[in-house]
Amino acid sequence: MSAKTVEKPDFLDRLQLLTERYLSYRKRKKRLKKEKQKKKNVILDWLESFLWAAGMVLLINQYLIQAYQIPSGSMIDTLLIGDHIFVNKIVYGPELLPGLGKISSPIQPKRNDIIIFENPNYFGRGTAFNVAQRVIYMLTLAQVDIDKDESGEPRPHFLIKRAVGMGGDWFRFDRGNMLIRPAGESRWIEESEFFTQRGMNHNLSRLVEPGTYPALIASGKAMAFRNLNQIIPQALQSPEFMNQRIMYADNTAVEAARLEIIRGAYPHESRYTNSLARINLGIYVPESRILPLGDNRDNSRDGRHFGPVLSSRVLGKGMIIYWPGDFRARRFEAFERFGVIR
């Protein structure tokens, strides 16, 4: 009984001593921290805060959601020039570093998604410059792009289009109208019918008037005669064609008309036959690839020019318009465009 009464005070004394030492250590640590902050340079303090905020912006833009500004009219009327949008970067798997590597994702782009991907025709200026351009673009929320051409315009590093074609599909274009032969089917279907059947209606803009196609085809044939250093036939120089003012051209229709004449002059040259066959037969989309097209079909450089793109190269999905490009000029009309991109 007496032994227990001796041990108990010793244990309590040790516990009290340890507690006092710990509290004294914490108090001393807080005091030193406050004194260190008082001595800290104001500029260094501001720089540390700035770097922390910049790091958070980079992390969010790189792996979660990125701000992006629409540079051209290829997606009118879905997206207008100057629209500021947020792109979901995590849905298809973000890149490990800007322009380097990519994390795989079980979710793949679906037909009718608005997707952003690296321009297949883009030629970078080296890894260091590309990374710097991406970092600055993200830090400034798409306000600053250091990658400009000779005229001072931003070079199209990224493209944003609609995922129209999927693996196994065939596409053909007749005077600007798109025909689809889906995977596993033998019938060609008009675009409007195809998307209406699947409940995937979206805005589609056409700038080339149907009545201008005779003049466009005539211009393609006339171009061929000039290429061959031949006199242009009088029929192709009729006032009906020469006086018609054409604002926009269907380059595919013009090129097909040009190749028809040149192929006739050089039937032994397979390159002309092959080029024309590619236009007439259409575009086939291999598995694991997507055919991206602009909603402004007559003013979009898209998959018709550079072909289907790999699904693994898609960087993100368009989410919302957070600031319409025309908001200041047309506030009431533009206000309706805030929200989810469809």
pLDDT score for 121: 86
Q: How many domains are there within the chain?
A: 2
Question: Which of 227, 245, 270 finishes a domain?
Answer: 270
Both 162 and 229 in one domain: the answer is: no
pLDDT score for 256: 92
Peptide bond preceding 77: is omega within 30 degrees of 0, i.e. cis? yes
Residue 42 lies in a domain: no
Confidence band for 166, pLDDT divided at 50, 70 and 90: very high
Contact 244, 212 (CB under 8 A): yes
Confidence band for 243, pLDDT divided at 50, 70 and 90: low
- Domain region containing 129: 65-206+285-340
pTM: 0.77
Both 92 and 133 in one domain: the answer is: yes
H or E stretch covering 215: helix 213-227
Contacts of 269 (CB under 8 A, 6+ apart): 263
Both 226 and 314 in one domain: the answer is: no
pLDDT score for 1: 47
Both 197 and 325 in one domain: the answer is: yes
pLDDT score for 203: 80
Both 299 and 247 in one domain: the answer is: no
Residue 293 lies in a domain: yes
Both 265 and 300 in one domain: the answer is: no
pLDDT score for 291: 96
Query: What is the domain-level CATH number for residue 295?
Result: 2.10.109.10
Both 125 and 180 in one domain: the answer is: yes
Both 191 and 96 in one domain: the answer is: yes
Query: C-alpha dihedral over 49, 52, 54, 56, to 10 degrees?
Result: -140
Residue 94 lies in a domain: yes
**Is pLDDT of 3 > 80?**
no
